[in-house]
């Protein structure tokens, strides 16, 4: 494993008080969430719509708010939080600033699960077919991951198993595109894979929220063990942490949170890589504290990007995953440049 | 006995590293684990710390096994200072030392007064108070070793197991760390330390365990372990000996042309 301490410059010895940081980030997420609610294509009198909902009037405004805006804003929040917190968890586990939640292969498999639903023409069969397919893909990948890199296997085995699962899911996705019955299905699959929050309904939210909450809980509980892991595996173990259990906990948490995120939105790149990296100096490089902070940062970034795609005068609407990748990739160039400078 | 190990065998596949090793340590004792490269010093230390299960034999802590004690209790009793001094994130020095308190921490509990005392004492003992708000990227390698030692001290454990804590240090810091370990052992705590420096091992340890040729070649008081014959057999070196203020010392002088270390 790379000794990351050598890669991370120490120019930010100062860090804000942790509680203050959490409050500020939470407020930022709240503000962006409200802006996301207020943003959209149909003109909407937000105050009127809210009072309609309060009075039980099923007006068009109330319908737009509840059926279109609300699920989009909620999912932006939850999906972003999932990506941010799992990114921080994976970087902490692997002690590598270039790790991201997709590294264990669950997101690739979730994407394939949804693609299979499109391929077999089941997307319209019932309302939740797509996310359920994605979740099934993520679950299958998790079982495979435990089979390949179960209890007793080291971190390297886990990464290799992730690479293998990712390649296999990508191959199956390519196969589905290859054998696709008509160009329309191909377009549908490709557009879905690009990642978007548009046109998701509230049942999507209720389907994935419990899974995500469970995943977030598993990740947050692993905080002290991730702190201890800063000193290496032997020392972490000598401090009373069971590393095999920690790996299982982080893999399960990541699979639950990211698997369900990808199942509803498709692939949204770079949030899980960039957020932990940007925010790490603000928690004085403490991996345990980074979890929640990175989750909030991920929610803020995802909401902001999703507001951006609706405000930008580009039609057809840019896919959210495309925007985060376009913002994120240059960031990666910068990161590589900095690592090279310090080498 | 603080730590008692009976008939420990370690094998990597079909190859035995050592077999039938017995080891015991009393409270207040400083035991040096010495031997040539590849003899299994680090592995034995990891077995004693229950970081690795031996292929044969068992380790007991005041008569109880690691399983009986449980991970947390064991972590409070033993502090382990790894040979690998890499720290993966450039955390602040005081936050790093505070990691030593994790075995005492309840879930979601903050730093208690007892934690704070232990952290301050550990930093004072290792003279790193002035470094507390620096990050690990801003200290020298000697300072880094002292920070890691402070982290192990902060555990406030009955036994400290240290793997080559002075290998990367200059002579002054080597002496300071050995004096510090000696002082810890004096306070009714035990120290087991893996060492390559025979002169310092001879001077600071109560007892030495010489690991070589697949088992314990000799153990006991330093003068009885570091005989010409044992050194030739274990390391394949001849030493010169001297005395200063009534304390004997030795210096490796030349290969003796016999024994595994000379090959």
The rounded distance, in Å, linking the Cα atoms of B134 and A223 is 23
CB contact under 8 A, A238 and B51: yes
Q: Look at the block and give the residue holding tokens 């020095």.
A: B93
Q: Establish if B106 touches chain A: CB-CB under 8 angstroms.
A: no
> Cβ contacts of residue B97 below 8 Å, gap of 6+?
B119, B122, B123, B128, B147, B150, B151, B154
The rounded distance, in Å, linking the Cα atoms of B48 and B57 is 11
Whole-number average pLDDT of chain B: 91
Chain A residue closest in CA terms to B48: A238
Q: Establish if A8 touches chain B: CB-CB under 8 angstroms.
A: yes
Is pLDDT at B58 greater than 90 in this prediction?
yes
pLDDT tens digits for range B11-53: 998 889 999 999 999 988 999 999 999 999 999 999 999 999 9
B-interface mutation test, from A285, A288, A290, most B Cβ less than 10 A away: A285
**A29 near A74, Cβ under 8 Å?**
no
CB contact under 8 A, B133 and A285: no
- Give contacts of B 199-218 with A, CB under 8 A: none
**A273 near A63, Cβ under 8 Å?**
no
Nearest partner of B34 among B44, B25, B22, judged by Cα: B44
Q: DSSP secondary-structure letter at B185?
A: H
CB contact under 8 A, B92 and A13: yes
What pTM was estimated for this model as a whole?
A: 0.90
CB contact under 8 A, B135 and A285: yes
Residue B152: the pLDDT is 96
The CB-side HSE value for B143 (13 A sphere, CA atoms) comes to 16
pLDDT tens digits for range A234-252: 999 999 999 989 999 999 9
Number of cross-chain residue pairs from A and B with Cβ atoms under 8 Å apart: 101
CB contact under 8 A, A10 and B79: no
Residue A152: the pLDDT is 66
Q: Count of CB atoms within 10 A of residue B140's CB?
A: 11
Six token digits for residue A8: 């991370």
Q: Look at the block and give the residue holding tokens 């909450």.
A: A213
Residue A221: the pLDDT is 95
Average the pLDDT over B56-76 and give the result: 94
Residues on chain B touching A99 (C-beta within 8 angstroms) = none
Q: Establish if B85 touches chain A: CB-CB under 8 angstroms.
A: no
Kindly state the helix (H) or strand (E) to which residue B217 belongs, with its residue range: strand B215-220
Q: Establish if A310 touches chain B: CB-CB under 8 angstroms.
A: no
pLDDT band of residue A7 (cuts 50, 70, 90) is: very low
Q: Establish if A18 touches chain B: CB-CB under 8 angstroms.
A: no
Alpha-helical (H) ranges within chain A are 4-7, 18-38, 46-55, 60-63, 70-94, 106-119, 129-149, 155-178, 183-194, 202-221, 223-229, 233-238, 243-265, 271-279, 287-311, 320-342
Residue A316, preceding peptide bond in cis (omega within 30° of 0):
yes
Which one of A238, A239, A285 has the shortest CB-CB distance to B89? A285
pLDDT band of residue A342 (cuts 50, 70, 90) is: low
Taking the CA of residue A79 and the nearest CA in chain B, the distance in Å comes to 25
pLDDT tens digits for range A156-212: 888 899 999 999 999 999 999 999 888 888 998 998 899 999 889 999 999 999 999
Burial B146-168 (b: 16+ CB within 10 A, else e): bbbbbbbbbbbbbbbbbbbbbee
pLDDT band of residue B256 (cuts 50, 70, 90) is: confident
Sign of the alpha-carbon dihedral angle for B172, B178, B179, B184: positive
Residues on chain A touching B148 (C-beta within 8 angstroms) = 231
Kindly state the helix (H) or strand (E) to which residue B173 belongs, with its residue range: helix B171-186
Inter-CA distances, A118 with A181, A267, B141, B146, Å: 11, 16, 57, 59
The CB-side HSE value for A213 (13 A sphere, CA atoms) comes to 6
The rounded distance, in Å, linking the Cα atoms of B108 and B113 is 16
Cα B11-B16-B22 angle, rounded to 5 deg: 85
Is pLDDT at B259 greater than 60 in this prediction?
no
Q: Establish if A43 touches chain B: CB-CB under 8 angstroms.
A: no
DSSP A154-171: -HHHHHHHHHHHHHHHHH
CB contact under 8 A, A10 and B138: yes
CB contact under 8 A, B90 and A95: no
Six token digits for residue A307: 């507001």
pLDDT band of residue A11 (cuts 50, 70, 90) is: very low
pLDDT tens digits for range B229-252: 999 999 999 999 999 988 889 999
Is pLDDT at A14 greater than 80 in this prediction?
no
CB contact under 8 A, B105 and A224: yes
Is pLDDT at B111 greater than 90 in this prediction?
no
CB contact under 8 A, A13 and B89: no
Inter-CA distances, B71 with A241, A261, B226, Å: 7, 35, 37
């Amino acid at each position: 494993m790379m000794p990351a301490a050598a890669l991370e410059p120490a120019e930010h010895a100062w860090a804000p008080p942790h509680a203050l940081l959490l409050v500020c980030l939470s407020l930022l997420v709240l503000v962006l969430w409200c802006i996301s609610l207020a943003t959209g294509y149909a003109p909407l009198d937000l105050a009127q719509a809210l009072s309609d909902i309060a009075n039980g009037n099923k007006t068009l405004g109330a319908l737009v708010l509840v059926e279109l805006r609300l699920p989009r804003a909620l999912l932006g929040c939850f999906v972003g939080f999932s990506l941010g917190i799992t990114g921080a968890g994976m970087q902490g586990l692997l002690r590598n600033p270039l790790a991201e939640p997709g590294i264990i292969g669950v997101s690739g498999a979730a994407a394939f699960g949804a693609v299979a639903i499109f391929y077999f023409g089941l997307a319209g069969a019932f309302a939740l077919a797509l996310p359920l397919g994605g979740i099934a893909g993520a679950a299958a990948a998790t079982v495979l991951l435990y089979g390949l890199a179960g209890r007793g296997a080291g971190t390297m085995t886990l990464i290799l198993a992730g690479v293998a699962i990712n390649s296999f899911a990508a191959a199956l996705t390519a196969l589905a595109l290859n054998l696709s019955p008509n160009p329309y299905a191909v377009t549908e699959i490709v557009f879905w894979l690009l990642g978007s929050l548009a046109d998701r309904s509230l049942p999507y939210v209720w389907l994935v929220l419990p899974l995500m909450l469970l995943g977030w809980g598993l990740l947050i509980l692993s905080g002290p063990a991730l702190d201890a892991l800063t000193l290496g595996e032997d020392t972490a173990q000598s401090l009373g942490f069971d590393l095999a259990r920690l790996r299982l906990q982080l893999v399960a948490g990541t699979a639950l949170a990211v698997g369900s995120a990808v199942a509803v939105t498709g692939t949204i790149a770079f949030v899980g890589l960039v957020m932990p990296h940007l925010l790490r100096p603000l928690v004085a490089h403490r991996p345990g504290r980074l979890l929640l902070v990175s989750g909030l940062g991920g929610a803020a970034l995802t909401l902001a990007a999703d507001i951006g795609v609706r405000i930008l005068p580009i039609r057809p609407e840019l896919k959210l995953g495309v925007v985060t990748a376009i913002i994120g990739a240059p960031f990666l160039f910068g990161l590589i440049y900095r690592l090279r400078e310090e080498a | 006995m603080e730590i008692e190990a009976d008939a420990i065998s370690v094998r990597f596949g079909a190859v035995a590293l050592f077999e039938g090793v017995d080891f015991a340590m009393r409270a207040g004792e400083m035991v040096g684990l010495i031997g040539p490269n590849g003899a299994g010093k680090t592995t034995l230390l990891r077995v004693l710390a229950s970081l690795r299960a031996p292929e044969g034999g068992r380790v007991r802590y005041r008569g109880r096994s690691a399983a009986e004690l449980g991970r947390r209790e064991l972590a409070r009793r033993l502090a382990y200072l790894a040979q690998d001094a890499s720290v993966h994130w450039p955390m602040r020095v005081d936050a790093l030392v505070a990691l030593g308190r994790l075995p005492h921490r309840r879930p979601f509990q903050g730093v208690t007064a007892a934690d704070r005392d232990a952290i301050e004492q550990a930093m004072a003992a290792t003279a790193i108070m002035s470094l507390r708000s620096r990050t690990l990227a801003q200290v020298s390698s000697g300072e880094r070793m002292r920070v890691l030692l402070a982290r192990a001290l902060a555990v406030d454990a009955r036994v400290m197991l240290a793997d080559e804590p002075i290998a990367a240090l200059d002579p002054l810091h080597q002496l300071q760390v050995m004096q510090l370990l000696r002082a810890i052992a004096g306070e009714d705590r035990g120290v087991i330390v893996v060492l390559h420096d025979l002169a310092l091992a001879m001077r600071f340890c109560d007892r030495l365990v010489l690991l070589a040729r697949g088992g314990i070649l000799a153990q006991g008081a330093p003068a009885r372990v570091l005989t010409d014959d044992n050194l030739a057999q274990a390391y394949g070196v001849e030493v010169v000996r001297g005395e200063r203020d009534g304390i004997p010392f030795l210096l490796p002088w030349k290969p003796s042309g016999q024994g595994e270390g000379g090959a």
